[in-house]
Structures are given as structure tokens and as C-alpha cells.
Homo-oligomer: A and B are copies of this chain.
Amino acid sequence: MNIEETSELVLQFQKRGGILPVAVQEYSTGQILMLASVNQEALEYSVKFRIAAFYSTSRKKLWVKGESSGNQLRVEKILIDCDQDALVYQVTILGGGVCHTFNKEGNNRKACFYRSLDFDEMKLQFLEK
């Protein structure tokens, strides 16, 4: 089967030890909130409940985002790449921010990508005002 041109879902989990990368993108704005990993179980959970779930590479188990914090993500769309070995979750933030870190107001930061690289200094700049 030509996995690039088919409408069959044949995710290539076996290529990468059962785990594929996923970019989590806010559906309404296009902002990238975080990068994570999924296995078959996490994908099935996300499809069934429309709540973003991942595979925690540190805890080595299913990670339903926001299960303890309440900061869940509603899955609006899932995109699959040409090689069927990478995904995008397009989501709506249901609770507070996605990141476990906090901004100056004491709220979870919206996205994990809150710093950009200063090419001249090779230092990080905080994007928040």
C-alpha cells in the first residue's frame, strides 16, 4: 500500500518503537501549544473521548492531559502526515493554559513555547509582556 496517497489509517508506530510525535495546536489561532508523544492507546482515547491524551515518556503510561489539573484539551481535528508517522492535534483549551509553568499572574502559561531564541546572543527571550 502507498501510505502517502491512501485514505487508510496505517500509522507507522512500529517505525519508532510504538510512539509517534504529535504537535498540539490551538484550533482557533494556529498557535503551537506543546509537543508530545502518542501511542496506540493514547490515540484511541483521544478519538473516543475527544479529549487529548498522550503517552508520557517519563512515566511510561497513558497521560490524559488535564486529568488532575482540569486543564483539558478538546480534540477538534487530528491531522496525519505523508509518512503516517507524525500527527497534529488541533484542540480547544477547556481549562487554563497548557503548560505546567506559571506566568507572573500565577496562571498556567497558555503554551509551553513562551521563549524564542535570540540569534545574536544565543539566549532565550520571554515572549510574554
Contacts and interface: CB of A to CB of B under 8 A. Distances in A.
Nearest to A113: B79
A63 to B, nearest CB: 14
A117 interface: yes
A5 B123 CA distance: 12
A106 interface: no
A123 B4 CA distance: 13
A101 B4 contact: yes
Given A50-B119, A79-B127, A82-B101, 13 more contacts: A7-B123, A7-B124, A9-B122, A9-B123, A23-B35, A32-B88, A34-B81, A47-B117, A47-B119, A79-B113, A79-B117, A81-B112, A82-B109
